[in-house]
């Protein structure tokens, strides 16, 4: 089982996966972590002698394909593999662009998104060093970045008949939730929704299940788990 943990830069993906590894271990289940950016940089240095972001698009595509093949190879030795990933970045014109590929969407069985408070992300970026340091980004830009990623991932995953689980990493329930999703296939909203529809004996071509309080705001709509 391969699953991906997405989130903006400095959202705490590595930290969360480290906590996950400990939680899995406590349940007697081993979990290995493949660090996405770090591994791509290693491949780039080996192949081209530069960091991944310094490669041209043709080189990046080749490295991404190599990375997907590497993840599949690692899965042969481990029952559960977690990979931290990036969906999008800002370019030099402050425009968001996706780096997620069809191969990424097809590679993983489960997808999770770390929805960290923009204020916390901004503070970490200001306190970072090297390439990860960013003293100019605003909390609003971070929230727009998160919205862009969640919207994009949700759309692409629904098209692939998969779903995006949006979580907070700063509580014990998030660890238990991911563990149950990955190891027990619990909280599969597609299966849950179909079961509910069957029990209610509803005959309709389109059914939307949501827990909204009589309203459907944009912010709620982007987190809608399932549309049948």
Task: Report CA torsion sign: 97, 103, 106, 109.
Answer: negative
State residue 180's pLDDT score.
93
In the chain, CATH 3.40.50.300 sits at 2-187
**What is the distance of C-alpha 106 from the center of its chain?**
13
Neighbours of 91 (CB within 10 A): 9
Residues 2-187, CATH architecture: 3-Layer(aba) Sandwich (3.40)
Say if residue 217's pLDDT is above 70: no
Mean pLDDT to the nearest integer, 163-180? 87
pLDDT above 60 (res 192): yes
Give first-to-last CA distance, the chain, whole Å.
26
> How would residue 220 be classed by pLDDT, with cut points 50, 70 and 90?
very low
In a 13 Å sphere around the CA of 225, the CA atoms on its Cβ side amount to 17
pTM, full prediction: 0.83
């Amino acid at each position: 089982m391969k699953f991906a943990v997405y989130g903006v830069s400095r959202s705490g993906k590595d930290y969360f996966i480290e906590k996950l590894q400990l939680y899995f271990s406590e349940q007697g289940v081993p979990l290995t972590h493949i660090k996405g950016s770090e591994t791509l940089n290693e491949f780039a240095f080996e192949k081209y002698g530069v960091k991944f972001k310094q490669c041209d698009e043709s080189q990046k595509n080749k490295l991404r394909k190599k990375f997907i093949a590497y993840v599949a190879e690692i899965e042969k030795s481990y029952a559960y593999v977690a990979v931290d990933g990036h969906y999008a970045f800002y370019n030099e014109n402050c425009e968001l662009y996706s780096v997620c590929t069809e191969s990424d969407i097809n590679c993983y069985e489960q997808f999770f998104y770390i929805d960290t408070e923009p204020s916390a992300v901004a503070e970490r970026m200001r306190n970072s060093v090297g390439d990860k340091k960013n003293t100019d980004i605003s909390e609003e830009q971070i929230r727009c970045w998160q919205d862009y990623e969640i919207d994009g991932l949700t759309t692409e995953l629904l098209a692939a008949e998969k779903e995006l689980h949006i979580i907070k990493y700063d509580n014990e329930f998030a660890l238990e939730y991911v563990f149950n999703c990955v190891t027990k296939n619990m909280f599969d909203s597609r299966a849950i929704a179909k079961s509910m529809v069957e029990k209610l004996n509803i005959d309709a071509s389109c059914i939307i299940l949501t827990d909204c309080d009589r309203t459907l705001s944009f912010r709620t709509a982007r987190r809608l788990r399932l549309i049948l």
